[in-house]
Amino acid sequence: MPPLGVSPALERADPSLIHLFDIDVPGKIRFQESETLSPGSAFSVFETPFCKVGVGICYDIRFAEMAQLYSKMGCELLVYPGAFNMTTGPAHWELLQRARALDNQLYVATASPARDETSSYIAWGHSTVVNPWGEVISSTGSEEAVVYAEIDLQYLADVRQQIPVTVQRRDDLYAVKPVAES
């Protein structure tokens, strides 16, 4: 599928958090980014000599539509810097990465701060890379580390050929596209 023609205003490479992290899990964690931050409204994609990359920040990983849009724009790797916490980290961090990778049959890489137990906000850690089959191919624990993985575009193409969901979507019944295109 050819990349969508997203207007330059919507496709930029200056990452901004699109979805604000406003949650309230009683007895566990309450966080309201909207009290101090305003959301961005531009998608962040860039070309490299190796592949096209889409960037989301932290809470953005929970929004499947954004990842699908990046996939439709031609991104083969989605990168999410993020600091999940000691409540949502063990429950959702890896699951969300694998879901976004599998849904869109692309690579997902996350980079988290290492855990600092003395901090007022304790990050879960566990920076990870997931492949288009939905497998974790590299990860670390809560400590400071560098995570390496190979981004294999032939493997991505193979997965998409074997299970061709990216071309089997019923765009005649439903579609994910940027608002400017609607």
The verdict on 127 binding ligand LQR7VSFR (CB under 6 A) reads no
CB of 130: closest distance to ligand LQR7VSFR in angstroms? 17
The two structure tokens encoding residue 40: 């961005």
CB of 56: closest distance to ligand LQR7VSFR in angstroms? 10
The verdict on 79 binding ligand LQR7VSFR (CB under 6 A) reads no
- Strand ranges of the sheet holding 77-81, from the earlier edge strand across to the other edge: 11-12, 43-47, 52-55, 77-81, 107-111, 128-130, 136-139
Q: Is 171 helix (H, G, I), strand (E, B) or coil?
A: coil
Among 12, 52, 62, 160, binds ligand LQR7VSFR (CB under 6 A): 62
Q: Which of 21, 37, 26, 54 is nearest to 178 (CA)?
A: 54
The verdict on 75 binding ligand LQR7VSFR (CB under 6 A) reads no
Taking residues 106 to 125 in sequence order and writing x for each that binds ligand LQR7VSFR by CB under 6 A, - otherwise, the string is --------------------
Which position has the token pair 């949502």? 88
Among 6, 11, 15, 21, binds ligand LQR7VSFR (CB under 6 A): 21
Q: Report whether 40 contacts 60 (CB < 8 A).
A: no
Burial of residue 92 (number of CB atoms within 10 Å: 0-12, 13-18, 19+): middle
The verdict on 85 binding ligand LQR7VSFR (CB under 6 A) reads yes
The verdict on 64 binding ligand LQR7VSFR (CB under 6 A) reads no
Residues that bind ligand LQR7VSFR (CB under 6 A): 21, 58-59, 62, 83-85, 88, 92
